[in-house]
Amino acid sequence: MPCFQETDNDLTVLKQFFYLFYLTVGFLSAEEIHLTEQKALTGDVIKETEQHLFVDLGFDLIKVPTSHVIKRVVTTANKEQLTYQKESGSLYSQKENAQTNTIEALVSTVGKATVQIQAPTSLGSGFIISPEGYVITNNHVISGENELTVILYEQGKNELRKTNFKKVEIIAQSPLYDLALLKVIDDREFPFVPIAKNLSLEQGETVFAVGSPLGLERSISKGIVSVKGRVMNNGITLIQHTSQINPGNSGGPLFNLKGEVVGVNNLKIASSSIEGIGFAIPTSHLLHFIDSRDSYAFDPRNPNAGYRYLTPPGEQWISKQPQKSKKQ
């Protein structure tokens, strides 16, 4: 009986055969890919990486940078329609009609965009929201610091490869919301995660956190939503959940089972007699912070920045007006 030993070349040929077979019988169908500058194209995406889409137009094969894709509609014979959209001028993206999945299947994707934030006196987590390298973390992780390092962990053949980025710019920060927006200065395209725009969490819904507790990179913890909106002492509403978070998780993402960011972990109640009470900043606050980043712009002269716009007191304003002399 003949014996067949599988090799890398044989596997490549086999994959090519199945691709041609699926293409012939129609299992692959065209996608509408909307690009920046009001351009679009239609074709079969035969390969997808974090940085590029390889699109077969029928008569040519082109490579499209994912940073230029603002909307993508995929329709196949055995999958529901999935829309990926990034609004014009926005730093973040959303998924429309995203399907739920297992944590095991999602971790390999969302973990790529979860980073560790290091400062001389603090350690935290964060996540990348755009291929240009914009990063979200907690304000208390970077407050008072100006030398930051963002560490990206990429999956190698047998291990995680650590890449340090020391050119990091603070774009905006808000002590009230405990949020900060950073920008990694580098020419490469970064993996990123979508943000849930319309937050529809339910009490008891499964969520999971990714971060670097105690510096242990890309650690996963699973829990449920305990309370959708817990009002804290400062008047800010947070998500209360049971995913285990520890020092180093601050600023890391909280995901739903669609792989969307639903919160930013920032607080836990710690005591020998208390367990499973953690909090995350909901995306309603996060999206407001990102969209209004000019109002929270970082000012290196002010350790409590963003900017504060104060209305001049009326009496002071009147007192500065020229006074007319009165005749006796």
What confidence category does residue 82 fall into, taking pLDDT thresholds of 50, 70 and 90?
Answer: very low
pLDDT(325) > 50: no
Question: Pick the residue with more confidence: 39 or 126?
Answer: 126
Of 125, 130, 140, 212, catalytic: 140
- Predicted local confidence at residue 27, as pLDDT: 40
Across 267-275, average pLDDT: 77
Q: Which pLDDT score, from 0 to 100, does residue 167 have?
A: 96
- pLDDT value at position 274? 78
Q: How would residue 122 be classed by pLDDT, with cut points 50, 70 and 90?
A: very high
Portion of the chain with pLDDT greater than 70, in percent: 76
Is residue 299's pLDDT more than 60? yes
How far apart (Å, rounded) are the C-alpha atoms in residues 294 and 307? 9
In the numeric block, the tokens 């920008």 are attached to 183
**Catalytic one of 178, 219, 221, 243:** 178
What pLDDT does 13 receive?
A: 45
Per-residue confidence band for 164, with pLDDT thresholds at 50, 70 and 90: very high
Checking if the pLDDT of 93 tops 50, the result is yes
pLDDT tens digits for range 205-249: 999 999 999 989 889 999 999 999 999 888 899 999 999 999 999
The residues pairing with 253 across neighbouring beta strands, listed in sequence order, are 264
> Which range has highest mean pLDDT (46-55, 297-306, 310-319)?
46-55
> Of 114 and 18, which is predicted with more confidence?
114
Examine the residue annotation and report whether 44 is marked as an active-site residue of this protein.
no
140 annotated active-site: yes
Q: What is the mean pLDDT of residues 35-58?
A: 80
Average pLDDT over residues 123-152: 94
Beta bridge partners of 41: 33
Q: Of 7-16, 35-44, 150-159, where does mean pLDDT reach its minimum? A: 7-16
Sheet harboring 149-155: ordered strands across? 160-165, 149-155, 114-119, 122-128, 134-137, 179-184, 168-174
pLDDT at 265 over 50: yes
User: What are the structural domains, with CATH classification, of the chain?
Assistant: 8-85 (2.30.30.100), 105-184 (2.40.10.10), 206-291 (2.40.10.10)
* Cα–Cα distance measured from residue 48 to residue 52, given in angstroms and rounded to the nearest whole number: 6
Q: Is pLDDT above 60 for 3? A: no
Identify whether 250 is a catalytic site residue: yes
Global confidence as pTM? 0.68
From the list 41, 43, 44, 42, the residue with the least C-alpha distance to 19 is 44
